[in-house]
Structure 1
Amino acid sequence: MNVIKPSHEGRVALVTGAARGIGQAIALKLAARGARLVLLDMEESRETANMIEAETLIVTGDVSSAADWDRIDKAIQKRFGGTDIVVNNAGIGSPKSIDDLDIDFWRKTFSINLEAHFFSAKQFIPQMRAKNWGRFVNISSNSIGLAIPGMSHYMASKMGVIGFVRGLANDVADWGITVNAVLPSLTNTKLTQDMPEEAKRQTWQSQAIKRFAEPSDIAGAICFLTSDDAAFITGQALPVDGGQYKIS
């Protein structure tokens, strides 16, 4: 009888923004499927690590810093020998009207939401090439298809994620490396728990599935895209939003 192995057994997966919310849910699901986890956040992802039975590596750092990516890579190589999967989940998204938006916040938004993805690719693609296998999943947002005021900087950075994914996929496909984006809707995390109930209902009413997204909903899609089952899927932008984003 054939025994089905966990889908991510033997893989080393790095998740940014792993201390809470969607990043924590991603780490837990990947670990449940056999991956060894590298948990990256600005603070130690101790709570996440305590929920994982498999071996984990907790690292702290600024995803917008190339020097921090290099330091983190060295720590991963020392512990696990390399990285197979990168999930760029860390991001910021405070609303600001164009009148209140200054160049410093514009650049900070892009450095965390987009440039960090470039740094991770530069850092880990060489070792993925050597193994002829790798997975990048970069978190965009379904907000790019919605009418939400005060989010021009955020939407621009998240649209940039899709462009980067589609371009990078062409550069690395010959080595068994796939690059995709996931576009979550507003998700039930600490960042949204104080939203007025009326605002939540308005979100649900624009979806086919009438409930708020849970972090595990987003994590499920990422587990698929980082598995061997998704080996022929690359350069794609997958909305995970209960049917809210209308693709034209």
Structure 2
Amino acid sequence: MSKIAIVTGGTRGIGETISTHLKDLGYTVIANYVSNDQAAQAFMDRTGIPVIKFDVSNFAATQKGISQIEVDFGPTDILINNAGITRDKTMHRMDVEQWDAVIQTNLASCFNTCKAVIENMRSRNFGRIVNIGSVNGQSGQYGQVNYAAAKSGIQGFTKALALESAAKGITVNAITPGYVDTDMVRALPEAILEKITDSIPVGRLGTPKDIARAAAFLVSDDAGFITGSTLSVNGGQHMY
């Protein structure tokens, strides 16, 4: 029986590629989304991967959504915390709603989802959790105090949960992507995009597949002795 994998924010961008890559490797994948019903339906029609709508920033909604997944498909073996948003503003222009939205969606969601799966993983002595951070959580970024704080917090969350879970056969790791060739990055002004690319030692943007391959390795049996680690996939842009 194939392992059950949940990918949050799993119908678009990096999340979509993680979802389809894991499916291609034989996992049973369920992709979470929150807002774009049309895109989610198109994703499901295109890939055959089932989707479920709930807001990972909301604790009660997340418990209900993941409980429904486990009723329909079985206990969660793999959790990829990929969902994230940006609300970029410099600190003196940022309002509390922009701060809260990013912290809740990008960081508190990791608590919400992990809380929903951890007891079943502990009872079965197996689990793989991968939290998607960002190079900007390691290096900081102008206009992103909310995003950088949330993504940096993911690393501390990952290490602490890894320590708590290792004896129960659960590994918890983080991936910190650099700038990846997605619609969001391609929407940047050409001059800024060129400057970003020039700052990457390998000379190109990352691809969603680069991140998906890293996630696939961390959830595999081959990575069973790796936990509490942060895998930087950024082309050498920030060596941490």
So what's the TM-score if we normalise by structure 1? 0.91
Please point out which of 107, 110, 119 is paired with 1:114.
Answer: 107
The whole-number CA distance in structure 2 between the counterparts of 1:72 and 1:139 is: 20
8 Å Cα contact 1:19/1:46 also seen in 2: no
Structure-to-structure mapping, 1:127-166, within 5 angstroms: 127-146=120-139, 148-166=141-159
Q: 1:95 pairs with 88, 91, 109, which one?
A: 88
Residue 51 of structure 1: SS of its match in structure 2? helix
Pairing 1:169–2:162 present: yes
SS of residue paired to 2:141? coil
1:29 counterpart (21, 28, 38): 21
2:42 corresponds to 1:47: yes
- Superposition deviation, residue 147 in structure 1: 5.4
TM-score, normalising length: structure 2: 0.94
Task: Please say if residues 114 and 161 of structure 1, whose CA atoms lie closer than 8 Å, have aligned partners that are also in contact.
Answer: yes
> Residue type of the partner of 2:41?
R
Q: Which structure 1 residue ranges, 5 or more long, are not aligned?
A: 1-8
Amino acid at match of 1:36: T
Matched to 1:49, the amino acid is: M
Aligned counterpart, 1:190:
183
Paired position in structure 1 for 2:116: 123
Question: How far did residue 51 of structure 1 move?
Answer: 3.4
How far 1:179 moved relative to its partner?
A: 0.6
Q: Give ranges in structure 2 of 5+ residues lacking alignment.
A: none
Q: Give the whole-Å Cα distance in 2 for the aligned partners of 1:108 and 1:62.
A: 12
**Percent identity between the two aligned chains:** 36
Distance, in Å, in 2 between the alignment partners of 1:163 and 1:148 is 19
- 1:148 counterpart SS class: coil
Shift of 1:209: 1.2
Q: Distance in 2 between matches of 1:10 and 1:217?
A: 23
Superposition pairs of residues 7-22 of structure 1, within 5 angstroms = 10-22=2-14
Deviation (angstroms), 1:78:
2.0
The size of the alignment, in residue pairs, is 237
CA distance in 2, matches of 1:47, 1:160: 33
| Aligned-partner residue type, residue 16 of structure 2 | Q
